[in-house]
Amino acid sequence: MNRNTLSGVIIFVSSLILFVILSYIAVTGGVGKHPSEEINSLGQFFVNNSYNVFNKTFWAGSPEAVTSILWDYRGFDTIFETTVLFISIGGALVLAYKKINWDKLITPLSDKGLTLIVKTSVKIISSIVVLLSLNLALRGYISPGGGFAGGSAYSIAPLLLISGLSIYYITRLGYKLHKMINIRTIGLLGLSIVSLIPLIWFGYILQNQSKPSTVFPGYPVYIGPLYLGGSLIYLNISEFLVVSTEFIIIFLAMFLLLKSTKGEAE
């Protein structure tokens, strides 16, 4: 007991010292620059060029500077981030998988639960969430949003349906585990196809618009009157599929696991 108090005091004092030193370093400008009138020259380059209609040498074809950095200028970052997501979801599934038999669990539940008003409002809210997230993902190259925001917003809808209605309801709607894994594979395939197509014209991997040193003509920015924003729309849709299905896989695994061990305890 005495030793525990002593170690608690030591931990408290050392994190206090760490915090004081870090704040001193930050205030004197050690963690980088402070916010000021000018931004970093690298960030200024992206701001200048992402939709520079007057000089299209380095442009990305999208007025959304953040999305064009994510998928054009620093696309490799995002690709490897998708890999990390893939691996950690796989790890979580491995931890859950030994516990249960997936196929036996999808059985109809008895139809008690919340009242009709709650159920109807949950249905309405979740369809609004689906529409909003599709809007976020499809218009991510013009307005704020994109694959990540759309995907994580979309995965809220089945979560609401599970907690408001039942897991049987959403499996009847088609949110089955193996189907989700297949859709995720389609999304990953879309990412790799769109990023590898420029190699046919000896361009770079993940190249979006034409660059001075390559012959790749670039993905179309306009098809007729329709504004498409180069490769960003395809990559956003693929990433939307990947992120949303991976989160839905996590939630399905979570609730099926919850149900199974409750049954064991009784």
Helices 116-138, 232-265: crossing angle, 10 deg rounding: 150
Pick 216 or 253: Cβ nearer another protein: 253
> How many angstroms from the chain centroid is the CA of residue 114?
31
| Candidate residues 51, 58, 102, 168; the one interacting with another protein per rule CB under 8 A | 51
Q: Per-residue b/e over 239-249, b at no fewer than 16 CB within 10 Å?
A: bbbbbbbbbbb
Q: Is 215 in the site for another protein (CB under 8 A)?
A: no
- Amino acid at residue number 39: I
- Amino acid at residue number 122: V
Tokens read off for 1: 């007991």
Residue count at the site for another protein (CB under 8 A)?
Answer: 76
Q: Which DSSP string corresponds to 211-266?
A: -TT----B--SEETTEE-TTTHHHHHHHHHHHHHHHHHHHHHHHHHHHHHHHHHH-
| Candidate residues 59, 60, 89, 230; the one interacting with another protein per rule CB under 8 A | 89
Kindly state the DSSP code that residue 74 receives in the 8-state scheme: T
Within residues 16-45, the interface with another protein by CB under 8 A covers: 16, 18-19, 22-23, 26-27, 31-40, 42-44
Within residues 175-204, the interface with another protein by CB under 8 A covers: none
Closest distance to another protein from the beta carbon of 32 (Å): 5
Pick 199 or 258: Cβ nearer another protein: 258
Pick 191 or 253: Cβ nearer another protein: 253
Closest distance to another protein from the beta carbon of 198 (Å): 21
Pick 145 or 198: Cβ nearer another protein: 145
Q: 123-132: which pairs have CB atoms within 8 A and are 24 or more residues apart? A: 123/161, 123/164, 123/165, 125/160, 126/156, 126/157, 126/158, 126/160, 126/161, 126/164, 127/157, 129/153, 129/154, 129/156, 129/157, 129/160, 130/154, 130/157
Kindly state the DSSP code that residue 197 receives in the 8-state scheme: G
Q: Which residues contact 195 (CB under 8 A, 6 or more apart)?
A: 75, 79, 205, 206, 235
Pick 216 or 240: Cβ nearer another protein: 240
Pick 44 or 192: Cβ nearer another protein: 44
Closest distance to another protein from the beta carbon of 62 (Å): 9
Within residues 101-160, the interface with another protein by CB under 8 A covers: 136, 142-146, 148-149, 152-153, 155-156, 159
Q: Is 226 in the site for another protein (CB under 8 A)?
A: no
Closest distance to another protein from the beta carbon of 180 (Å): 15
Closest distance to another protein from the beta carbon of 250 (Å): 5
Pick 52 or 185: Cβ nearer another protein: 52
Closest distance to another protein from the beta carbon of 187 (Å): 14
Closest distance to another protein from the beta carbon of 93 (Å): 8
Tokens read off for 188: 């990953």
